[in-house]
Structure 1
Amino acid sequence: MMGMGMLFYSCQSESKQTQPEAKPPKQLKIDVKQEDTYQTMAHFGASDAWSCQFVGLWPDSKKTAMAELLFSRDQDAQGHPKGIGLSLWRFNVGAGSAEQGDDSDIKDEWRRAESFLKADGNYDWSKQAGQVWFAQAAQELGVPNLLVFPNSPPVYMTKNGKAYANDGNPNLSEDRFDDFGNYLANVITGLEEKGLSVDYVSPVNEPQWDWSDAGQEGTPFLNSDIAGIVRSLDASLTASGLSTKIDIAEAGKINYLYENSDKPQRGSQIAAFFGDESEDFIGHLDHVGQAISGHSYFTTSPFTSAVQQRKNLQRAISEVDDLEFWMSEYCILGNNGGEINGSGKDLGIDPALYMARVIHNDLVIANASAWHWWLAISPYDYKDGLIYIDKNKEDGDFEDSKMLWALGNYSRFIRPGFQRKGVVLDGDELQSANFLVSAFSSPEADEMVYVIVNSGIDEVEAALAIDGETITAHQGYITSKEHELTPLVLEEETVVIPARSIVTVTVNQLPK
């Protein structure tokens, strides 16, 4: 159970202040203001780390079923969604710790990864076959975007010959930046020869952490290192004739994007990379996308702090013309102030509701135009997976979680190009932390999607409106203790939002 208070906040204006605890009304009007426009959505995604290297080699029927859960937008004969329709897939480009085996020092072989690059400088494109299978399945099932990301440069390039760092120092010398850029361009070219179009490459991951415990592949970097790597990568992509955009900088916490905090030379990354006067300015490079990415870890509780940090982030983002924020990785980590603990697998509604609150705050407060979960498929006893599997490299059982379907309440219906609109409840911009509403319009402005998160213990009867005019919902879907994106029959002028549920409602006939 989650212990967030019934706090109120404004999702439209920073002039509104947090209000005293109160319960949301049991009846209310949800009104979308079409002229109040915010970010245009890019994609919802998840990562193939670490298990897809093995699961992609499982029997066809099982891996195909898991791919359908993640990628499909089809329905079964009863109208139930077959999957959550992700719009981006993240491909982990391995550093070669798997080939090193126990000599990699990474004890959990599921956190090691193969490398396409061999010690002699040649490439073996038969590597990472399980991951390639999932990326191809994503493409075949209509996922429009593919992003590749290394956690570490190849072990043949690193300072210590390992896929983890020593003493919190960057594990790549400046004189190898060009080699690393050429390597990533070669990987993208190699994947494209397999029929995979790579839209984005993210060359560094959580550069604020030390990555020196050999728990997985990873390395820290200073902002100056990242700028140098991106300049080399940009040149390599241009030389290879690739259109792939560069995503930076996968900050370990969102506050590192707008302040140094406890990581000098690794924080204030918006100013570092997109400030015109910065020595590390790279926003002008051809392949650098007009977005900066960060992870929502350790910033989701308490609720008032989560809201404030996202307001701070959005304020900093807005100071750079046309810059977007991507929330590029999250799962439930740590104790979260006693609200929910990341330890222990839980397939139920509690973590799904917590996840939905995080998504809502990232989209509505931080104006994130992208939102990505961490492990699509997890073998761990942790709240880190959308799908859970036996930790077996060759075969096993799998099961879906409510977190999968909670993400689906967003990813399946809010497609790339949809734009977030303003929402008021009973004429007020304030929203209760236990009752959260966001709304998104299709690019053609012929469809409106409402996502409603009711974490409270009472059902709420909601009348839907657009610009004050009451409208009739076209279709609804619910995720709750009893349901997994189950279709709702909507025959009344109001929509009942059950207690402890996530409801998505689509409207196809909008007022003129």
Structure 2
Amino acid sequence: MLSRLPLVLCVLGTGDAFARAAVTVNVASTLQQIDGFGVSQAFGRAAEFRDMLSGQPQQQGLDYLFNTTTGAGLTIVRNRIGSGTSGSDSILPQSPGGPTAAANYSFDDDDRGQMWFSRQAMKYGVKTFYANAWSAPGFMKTNNNENNGGYLCGTPGHSCSSGDWRQAYADFLVQYIKFYNERGIPITQLGFLNEPDFVATYSSMQSGASEASSFIPVIYNHLEANGLSNVSLTCCDAMGWNTQRSITQGLVSAGMERYLKYITSHMYTSDPTSVISTRLKTWQTEAADLQSRWCATWYSNGGLCEGMTWANKIHNGLANANLSAYIYWQGVEVNQFQASSYLVASDGKTLTPSGRLWAFAMWSRFVRPGAYRVSTSGSVSSTGITAFKNTDGSVVVVFLNSGRSQQNVEVGFRDFAPATAEAFVTDNTRAVAAVVATLSGGTVTASVPALGMLTIKLS
């Protein structure tokens, strides 16, 4: 349950209306395109979700993630391409003997539950599936281990006695995509690195811009040769935005923008708060609270586990870094109450959504894939504003009030004549709850709760 905080009503004027801040949405002034908001169930979490929850609890968990009426309406699934030494974690658990030897690929039709999770997401209309490798198989790397970093053999400065494994790694990634496509799950984005600036005790592989640039044309051409030109390449899922900015400078200098479609990053060492210089779309592909015990709170003291904190992170990413997507780490966890690295918790029977889930919902439920962010003018005290135009012509305006006083707003439009208006609020007592927004003469008036959010959808 959301924690409760008294709602402060601030009367700013006299007469028949509160004093209102005026905002204009310039619908024809488009900014970045929005691909969506998403989640992962990697490292077997998808199988746990499937096997430890059943019936109504399982359905409720899926609804919390993907339902556009009762949940967050998420639209992206990020799956891990396994690289381990067992058939359940990798399609090539053993070396074929050399980089040019025939690979004996096999697929268990489960992928640690990710096949099931992807199919469930598709039932809700999800069409974006990001396949991301944490590492190449160990026998393709300088340390001969999928764990503890190491570099891909054959990249600049990293030769191996076994040979150059770049083409073999490209084939490994393409075959994974084929296995999914053959089973009716279209992989739309492919990442070949994950946190290449961090050496982890689990699957991990190091890379800088130079190493990545030596592999990107190889995987690009192999996708083309296999009729997979519709799969978009990403790079490089660095630990933080600032590191990814530096890597991107190297990629751009090396001419890699012609091959890539997305620059991707995590937020663990630095949040996306400013634009990276690239003509490519940018995605925040992994974000989570890895420090706090589980909490469902919307706002208490501004802690990292709280929904309001994450609403600010998402807002800054969209408004200041021009993100096209924002993906949280994990969706549903069972019997794991020691962390807030997931959006929904369950004891096997009861599910508890977090304030973080509702922060995502205030955008994802209403701002759908293909929408464009549009510009706004005017300001509201202590309040961030983002606005979007969906492909169906509807317009969405999202207000995030970090102040302790209710803000009353009047929203006008250019190049758009609203006919209907719906409004929803999230704060310490409500989660995406319908409220009144008055539409008159093409202008909408509504109130943004203190320490809360207001989303208005107009058609």
Q: Normalising by structure 1, what TM-score?
A: 0.74
Matched position secondary structure for 2:410 = strand
Structure 1 equivalent of residue 354 of structure 2: 401
**How is 1:261-276 mapped onto 2 (pairs within 5 angstroms)?**
268-275=246-253
Structure 1 equivalent of residue 99 of structure 2: none
CA distance in 1, matches of 2:136, 2:416: 55
Structure 1 position 397, deviation (Å): 4.7
Structure 2 equivalent of residue 8 of structure 1: none
Structure 2 equivalent of residue 256 of structure 1: 243
Tell whether the 8 Å contact from 2:436 to 2:446 is kept in structure 1 after alignment.
no
The count of corresponding residues between Structure 1 and Structure 2 is 412
Establish whether residue 203 from structure 1 lines up as the match of residue 154 from structure 2.
no
* Percent pairwise identity: 22
2:32 aligned partner, one-letter code: Q
Matched position secondary structure for 1:283 = helix
Q: Specify which of 223, 234, 240 is matched with residue 209 of structure 2.
A: 223
Structure 2 equivalent of residue 106 of structure 1: none
Matched position secondary structure for 2:269 = coil
CA distance in 2, matches of 1:468, 1:117: 54
2:358 aligned partner, one-letter code: W
- CA 1:71 to 1:238, structure 2 compared with 1: closer, same or farther past 3 Å? same
Matched position secondary structure for 2:387 = strand
Q: Specify which of 316, 330, 355 is matched with residue 375 of structure 1.
A: 330
Structure 1 position 472, deviation (Å): 7.6
CA distance in 2, matches of 1:465, 1:380: 45
Establish whether residue 461 from structure 1 lines up as the match of residue 394 from structure 2.
no
Q: Specify which of 441, 454, 458 is matched with residue 503 of structure 1.
A: 454
CA distance in 1, matches of 2:114, 2:210: 31
Establish whether residue 416 from structure 1 lines up as the match of residue 369 from structure 2.
yes
- CA 1:83 to 1:115, structure 2 compared with 1: closer, same or farther past 3 Å? same
**How is 1:287-306 mapped onto 2 (pairs within 5 angstroms)?**
288-289=260-261, 291-300=262-271
- CA 1:218 to 1:403, structure 2 compared with 1: closer, same or farther past 3 Å? same
CA distance in 2, matches of 1:455, 1:424: 19
2:212 aligned partner, one-letter code: I
- CA 1:63 to 1:161, structure 2 compared with 1: closer, same or farther past 3 Å? farther
1:247 aligned partner, one-letter code: T
1:56 aligned partner, one-letter code: R
Structure 2 equivalent of residue 126 of structure 1: 109
Q: Specify which of 163, 166, 175 is matched with residue 177 of structure 1.
A: 166
Gap runs ≥5 in structure 2: 4-17, 97-103, 156-163, 300-305
- CA 1:406 to 1:489, structure 2 compared with 1: closer, same or farther past 3 Å? same
CA distance in 1, matches of 2:417, 2:227: 52
Structure 1 position 208, deviation (Å): 1.2
Gap runs ≥5 in structure 1: 2-24, 74-80, 101-112, 259-267, 301-305, 334-341
Structure 2 equivalent of residue 438 of structure 1: 386
CA distance in 1, matches of 2:106, 2:217: 23
1:418 aligned partner, one-letter code: A
- CA 1:170 to 1:404, structure 2 compared with 1: closer, same or farther past 3 Å? same
Query: For residues 261-284 of structure 1, what are the alpha-carbon distances to aligned partners after superposition, in whole Å with 9 as ceiling and x for unaligned?
Result: xxxxxxx22232223xx2xx3222
- CA 1:473 to 1:30, structure 2 compared with 1: closer, same or farther past 3 Å? farther
Q: Specify which of 66, 86, 92 is matched with residue 80 of structure 2.
A: 92
Structure 1 position 59, deviation (Å): 4.2
Establish whether residue 29 from structure 1 lines up as the match of residue 7 from structure 2.
no
**How is 1:28-177 mapped onto 2 (pairs within 5 angstroms)?**
28-50=21-43, 51-61=45-55, 62-73=57-68, 81-96=69-84, 99=86, 114-119=89-94, 121-165=104-148, 169-170=150-151, 172=153, 174=155, 175-177=164-166
Query: For residues 106-132 of structure 1, what are the alpha-carbon distances to aligned partners after superposition, in whole Å with 9 as ceiling and x for unaligned?
Result: xxxxxxx82232326331333424111
Matched position secondary structure for 2:129 = strand
CA distance in 1, matches of 2:368, 2:91: 33
Q: Which moved more, 1:36-45 or 1:462-471?
A: 462-471
Structure 1 equivalent of residue 288 of structure 2: 331
CA distance in 1, matches of 2:396, 2:404: 24
Tell whether the 8 Å contact from 2:89 to 2:112 is kept in structure 1 after alignment.
no
RMSD: 2.7
Tell whether the 8 Å contact from 1:476 to 1:503 is kept in structure 2 after alignment.
yes
Structure 2 equivalent of residue 12 of structure 1: none
Tell whether the 8 Å contact from 1:180 to 1:229 is kept in structure 2 after alignment.
no
Structure 1 position 408, deviation (Å): 0.9
Q: Normalising by structure 2, what TM-score?
A: 0.82
Tell whether the 8 Å contact from 1:151 to 1:218 is kept in structure 2 after alignment.
yes
1:170 aligned partner, one-letter code: Y
Structure 1 position 146, deviation (Å): 0.7
Matched position secondary structure for 1:57 = helix
CA distance in 2, matches of 1:496, 1:149: 41
